[in-house]
Amino acid sequence: MNTWTGTAAPRMITRPFHRKWLMNQADALLGFYRQAYNPAGGFFTLDKEGRSIGHTPRGTGTLRELHDTCRMTHCYAAAHLLGHPSGAAMLDHGMQFIRSHHRDPDAGGYFASVDDDGPVRADKLAYGHAFVLLAAASAGAAGHPDARWLFDDILNVIRTRFWQDVMTEQYDRNWTAPDGYRGMNSNMHTLEALLAAYDIWPDDSLRTMALAIADLFINTHARAEGWVIPEHYNTAWQIDRHYEGDPMFRPAGTTPGHALEWSRLLMQLWIIDGRKQDWMPEAARHLFQNAVTFGWASDRGAFHYTLDWDNTPLRRANYWWPVAEGVAAAHVLGSLLDDDLYEDWYRRCWRTLDARFIDHKQGGWWHEIDADGQPEECVFKGKPDIYHALQACLIPLVSPHRSMNAGLMVCPDPAGT
């Protein structure tokens, strides 16, 4: 691909055509994932053509992962705020399933995965609970009547079960077998959800929790590592440099896509905290710079999934979500910091997404490309996720001072200039 991105021209986001293009892409995603509606409750996982996949081994309907249910709920809250005809029904469908199937009525908390007959994975994961909080905040932005109930319930679970200065990671159904692993990723998404909730219900305790997460993982650990974010830890919060778990959620090494996510979230936290802590924009700059310097696979026009501790590529798989996070991070940093670097990367990421990841024929986005830039299905089967793609389309259309759905809540014409 060519390297020139046209950054001498005005910022793309100021152009009416680009804003309408973003809205059109969001509309296409919402239309494609409307097919995920499962009459039995929750949502189907979709294949590359938008058909349902993912039946459970015991054959009682499709598997519903907690984070997937909550991400769909979050995204169709956005659809409702935009005025999409399917938004209210899809949002309500997700909210009902979270409460009726994912929630553990006996021990509290939320099952990691379920099918039509009940829990498949009955353990309680911090990662999934972070997305319950995000779904509650998004439902609150959209005015759903159960949003406050869900917010109060999940916040109580987080505070009483997971929170020990920051988030612990994993328990069994009855909260009696804490896992020895501690992770950054679940904490990052908890921070994301805390910021979204603070935008709807501005309780200072939410901001305090978010600050604690940012201080440990970024101001302490990432700073000490030259603005590289360690992913894996033991129970004493010592870095485990040799850990390798799930190839998607807990891979070995460091993850440039997470550095991009963090750079955006830090800027939002900086604003919510009154722009008092200068280390936050400093860290955001460094995290973004390191991600694009060491993480970008120039021969493929995408980001490497993981890097080794010397910043060399470890897993060269190229997924859609780091490029989508590059869009969101570049937009937010470009809106708040004076540097043309971010506009260059905003354009570069959209060019890659448009050329290689957006499926212009069948709908949705390809989740993985091979060495030749062609779609493949190694880790991901089909097109299971709308969350990263929709956020890439909508975050640039709302204020960088707020989370996505809170921004949509106060902006009746996000495609306007």
User: What span, in angstroms and rounded, lies between the C-alpha atoms of 133 and 275?
Assistant: 25
Please name the residues in contact with 402: beta carbons below 8 A apart, sequence gap of 6 or more: 199, 268, 410
Confidence (pLDDT) at 55? 67
Mean pLDDT of 230-254: 93
Of the pLDDT bands very low, low, confident and very high (cuts 50, 70, 90), residue 2 is low
On whether the CB atoms of residues 253 and 309 are closer than 8 A, the answer is yes
Q: What single DSSP character describes residue 166? A: E
Confidence (pLDDT) at 372? 86
Identify the weakest region by mean pLDDT among 53-57, 79-83, 97-101.
Answer: 53-57
Confidence (pLDDT) at 417? 58
The active-site residue out of 144, 189, 304, 388 is: 388
Strand-pair category, 118-121 with 113-115:
antiparallel
**Residue 102 is a catalytic residue:** no
57-77 confidence digits (pLDDT tens): 666 678 999 999 999 999 999
Confidence (pLDDT) at 61? 77
Q: 370-404 b/e with 16+ CB inside 10 Å = b?
A: eeebebeeeebebbbbbbbbbbbbbbbbbbbebbb
The active-site residue out of 102, 221, 258, 331 is: 258
Confidence (pLDDT) at 9? 72
On whether the CB atoms of residues 304 and 297 are closer than 8 A, the answer is yes
Question: Which secondary-structure segment (H or E) carries 124?
Answer: strand 124-125
- Structure-derived torsion over alpha carbons of residues 300, 304, 307, 313, reported in degrees to the nearest 10: -20
Alpha helices in 337-386 (DSSP H): 341-352
**What residues does each domain of the chain span?**
12-410
Domain 12-410 listed as CATH 3.60.15.10: no
Confidence (pLDDT) at 297? 94
**Residue 360 is a catalytic residue:** no
106-122 confidence digits (pLDDT tens): 999 999 999 999 999 99
